[in-house]
Amino acid sequence: MTIVIINNFGQYNHRISRTLQYLKIPCKLMPNRTNINDIKKINPSGIILGGGPSIERIGNSKEYIKEFDVPILGICLGHQLIAEAYGANTRSSTRESYAQIELDILHENDLFKDLGDKITVWSSHKDEIESIPENFQILAKSDKCDIEAIKHNTKPIYGIQFHPEVQHTPKGPEIFTNFYNVCKK
């Protein structure tokens, strides 16, 4: 039951690993250039695509989305990569955000289970999803971003624009625990 964390060179990728370790969730942090077969050898129960500074440094991240039939959680750039892998576009945000914000949860779902309809999260991004891909729904929004969280309608694939791995997202550990519970199903 290992979750593979794909390091897309974002400033918080190691925090994802530390948070999962703190929660006693087995995980392995791997560079985004890792060969798909090397990840298959681990037989991950889930994949987390970490954030990153630019689309030019995504390595094999989009291939992981297409290749693996396990729960996937994309964070920040990982969220945008999921949208792009399924045919949506991203753009520079007109409302860049580097602050603690309030998230409106629009739909009851496994990722935000038992968190209520509003939570405080840390936002740190300059790009965003322009529109949701086909077969996805918007799970959450904020004043800074209309598409803060998405989920595939039939697969356990989630994307979140915000950062649950930092202390400025108080319910971040619960989000990771909820994702791990999805991976155990």
Q: Are 12 and 50 in contact (CB under 8 A)?
A: yes
- Which one is predicted more confidently, 104 or 128? 104
Annotated catalytic residue, options 76, 125, 145, 174: 76
pLDDT value for 61? 95
Number of other residues whose CB lies within 10 A of the CB of residue 104? 14
Terminal Cα distance for the chain, rounded: 11
pLDDT of residue 95: 62
Q: What pLDDT, on a 0 to 100 scale, did the predictor assign at position 96? A: 59
Per-residue tokens: 122: 């840390």
Cα 85 from Cα 31, distance rounded (Å)? 19
Place of tokens 């991004």: 125
Give the mean model confidence (pLDDT) for residues 42-46: 98
User: Of residues 84, 128, 148, 165, which has the active-site annotation?
Assistant: 165
79 versus 144: the higher-pLDDT residue is 79
Mean pLDDT confidence for 107-117: 95
Residue 108's pLDDT band (cuts 50, 70, 90): confident
CB of 112 within 8 A of CB of 175? yes
Predicted pLDDT at 123 = 87
Token digits of residue 71? 């729960």
Q: What is the mean pLDDT of residues 150-159?
A: 98
Mean pLDDT, the chain, whole residue set: 93
130 has a pLDDT exceeding 90: no
Q: Tell me if residue 145 is catalytic.
A: no
State the residue for tokens 């619960």: 174
For residue 125, pLDDT over 70 is answered with: no
* Highest CATH level, class, for 3-184: alpha beta
SS3 content of the chain, % helix, strand, coil (to 5): 25, 35, 40
Q: For 30-55, what is the mean pLDDT?
A: 95
Question: How far is Cα 28 from Cα 119, in angstroms, rounded to an integer?
Answer: 28
pLDDT over 90 (residue 135) = yes
Catalytic residue among 125, 145, 163, 174: 163
What distance in Å separates the CA atoms of residue 100 and residue 29, rounded to the nearest whole number?
Answer: 26
Tens-place pLDDT, residues 51-107: 988 777 899 999 999 999 999 999 999 999 999 999 988 767 666 566 889 999 998
Is residue 76 part of the annotated active site? The answer reads yes
What's the rounded mean pLDDT across residues 12-37? 97
Q: Judge whether residue 132 has pLDDT over 80.
A: yes
